[in-house]
């Protein structure tokens, strides 16, 4: 009886800590994916896959990253590719659903109204709310994926002469991979063969942007598209900063690589503009590449690092520290430079607790990246540019690589697995845990100012 009571108390404790449930759920998904991918039927050769390769691929798929240690179309059988596709879909839907539900829980914790579902009057998350959120996320995801899959299928049939069945298969696979910001592709060169094909690249890019905005943003856009002044602060920040980063990133990447013979140099100017935009869009944590990343200039790789680290919108399929976290810290710095006592953002005052949460997430993320770079450089012969790029790509669940992933020793690949898992779940669970743990203090100590700077 005591054992049963102890187990019951532990289960109840897990339920009271949503972040724990999120971590356990994704760990279970990765474990099942690893088991399935290690089976002989999952490979073209019919041989079982080693544990590290299966674990790395399952983690990359479930965490919608896209980093690979074996060539997807030649190593995995059709069954293996379908397993990867299912992991991507479940991982993307899971992260959107769980992040949205955690957001709803956090907002109700403070007695606010969240327009994910009907207006909230209690501080508990009801079964009806969960069903509505999950149903809407599923419908939204399938709608975007269907539209993109149809566009890609039509292009593969009319432009490349693929049979209808194969075109549908590739169209669906790439549509799901794109909307979930995964970056897995069914071509050995990823999407480099489509570098100047706007009819193929633009649907992929739009799906990546759509998945990266997040469910709360799309729900509000559908209901208030023509009323931007009534958008919530979260939607305003996510939309406008996304636009700025997409335009700014496209301009910088295109200008930096314009004459590079290994990337944009051989292309016509329309092709350069398309490829530059696509490359900048993929840093939104998608992982597709239509240019050879290894041939890019060091400065371009650094720009990629920054954009990947920022990532996409909250409660979406993108990774990184999230756009809102980056933007809020920028507003905090701006207010401090101006000497303002409080932080005002687009007509709203930013709570101090949110500022501390954003700062905590960024500093922990920087610490994780720096420590991982040091460890990976210690066990590999690669330079700082390549190692930093690989680490940021894994932590931000991007999937872009300079081509060193398969050459990293087993210990380094395990480190990347841990980074993908932390990067996928860390910002979400940390932000919700910090918000749910916030409480008042009954007293304050005497104030003293240390020297700063």
Question: Which residue range forms the structural domain that includes residue 351?
Answer: 17-115+127-436
- Report the DSSP pairing between strands 348-349 and 344-345: antiparallel
Q: Encoding tokens for residue 434?
A: 């910090």
Contacts of 354 (CB under 8 A, 6+ apart): 328
pTM of the model: 0.86
The answer to whether residue 267 sits within a structural domain is: yes
- Asked whether residue 363 is assigned to any structural domain, the reply reads yes
**pLDDT digits (tens), the chain, 453 positions:** 454 454 455 444 444 455 667 778 888 999 999 999 999 999 999 999 999 999 999 999 999 999 999 999 999 999 999 999 999 998 888 776 766 666 655 555 444 333 433 333 323 344 455 677 777 888 888 999 999 999 999 999 999 999 999 999 999 999 999 999 998 999 999 999 999 999 999 999 999 999 989 888 888 888 887 788 888 888 999 999 999 999 999 999 999 999 999 999 999 999 999 999 999 999 988 889 999 999 999 999 999 999 999 998 887 788 889 998 999 999 999 999 998 988 988 888 888 878 888 888 899 899 999 999 999 999 999 999 999 999 999 999 999 999 999 999 999 999 999 999 988 887 766 665 555 555 666 767 787 667 666
Instruction: Indicate the number of domains in the chain.
Output: 1
Evaluate whether residue 226 is within a structural domain. yes
Q: Is residue 442 part of a domain?
A: no
Residue 12 covered by a domain: no
Per the domain annotation, does 411 fall within a domain?
yes
* Cα–chain center distance at 115: 23
List the structure tokens of 147.
Answer: 């539209």
449 in a structural domain: no
The label of the residue with tokens 């532990």 reads: 10
Tokens of 223: 């209901």
The answer to the question of residue 9 being in a domain is no
Name which of 72, 308, 328, 276 is nearest 212 in CA terms.
308
Residues in CB range of 276: below 8 A, 6 or more apart: 250, 251, 253, 254, 257, 264
| pLDDT score recorded for residue 259 | 95
Segment holding 297, helix H or strand E: none
């Amino acid at each position: 009886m005591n054992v049963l009571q102890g187990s019951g108390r532990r289960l109840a404790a897990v339920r009271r800590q949503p972040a724990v449930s999120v971590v356990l759920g994704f760990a279970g998904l990765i474990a099942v994916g690893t088991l399935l991918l290690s089976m002989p039927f999952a490979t073209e050769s019919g041989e079982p896959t080693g544990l590290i390769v299966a674990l790395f691929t399952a983690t990359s798929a479930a965490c919608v990253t896209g980093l690979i240690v074996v060539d997807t179309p030649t190593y995995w059988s059709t069954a293996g590719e379908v397993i990867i596709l299912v992991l991507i879909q479940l991982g993307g839907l899971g992260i959107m659903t769980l992040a949205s539900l955690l957001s709803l829980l956090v907002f109700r914790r403070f007695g606010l109204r969240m327009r994910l579902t009907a207006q909230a009057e209690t501080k508990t998350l009801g079964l009806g709310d969960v069903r509505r959120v999950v149903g809407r996320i599923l419908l939204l995801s399938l709608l975007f994926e269907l539209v993109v899959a149809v566009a890609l299928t039509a292009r593969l049939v009319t432009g490349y002469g693929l049979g209808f069945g194969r075109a549908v298969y590739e169209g669906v696979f790439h549509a799901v991979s794109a909307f979930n910001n995964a970056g897995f592709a069914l071509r050995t060169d990823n999407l480099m063969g489509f570098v100047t094909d706007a009819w193929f690249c633009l649907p992929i890019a739009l799906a990546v942007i759509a998945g990266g905005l997040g469910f709360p943003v799309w729900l509000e856009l559908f209901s208030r598209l023509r009323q931007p002044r009534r958008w919530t602060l979260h939607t305003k920040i996510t939309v406008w900063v996304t636009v700025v980063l997409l335009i700014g990133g496209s301009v910088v990447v295109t200008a930096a690589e314009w004459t590079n013979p290994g990337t944009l140099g051989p292309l016509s100017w329309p092709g350069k503009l398309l490829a530059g935009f696509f490359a900048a869009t993929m840093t939104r944590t998608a992982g597709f590449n239509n240019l050879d990343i290894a041939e890019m200039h060091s400065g371009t790789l650094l720009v990629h690092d920054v954009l990947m680290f920022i990532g996409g919108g909250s409660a979406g399929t993108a990774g990184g520290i999230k756009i809102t976290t980056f933007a809020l810290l920028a507003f905090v710095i701006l207010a401090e430079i101006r000497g303002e006592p409080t932080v005002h953002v687009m007509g709203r005052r930013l709570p101090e607790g949110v500022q501390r949460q954003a700062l905590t997430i960024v500093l922990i993320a920087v610490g994780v990246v720096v420590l991982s770079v040091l460890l990976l450089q210690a066990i590999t012969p690669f330079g700082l540019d390549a190692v930093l790029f690989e680490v940021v790509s894994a932590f931000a669940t991007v999937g872009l690589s300079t081509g060193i992933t398969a050459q990293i020793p087993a210990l380094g690949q395990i480190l990347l697995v841990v980074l993908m898992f932390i990067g996928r779940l860390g910002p979400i669970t940390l932000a919700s845990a910090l918000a749910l743990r916030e409480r008042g203090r009954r007293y304050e100590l005497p104030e003293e100012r240390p020297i700063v700077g």
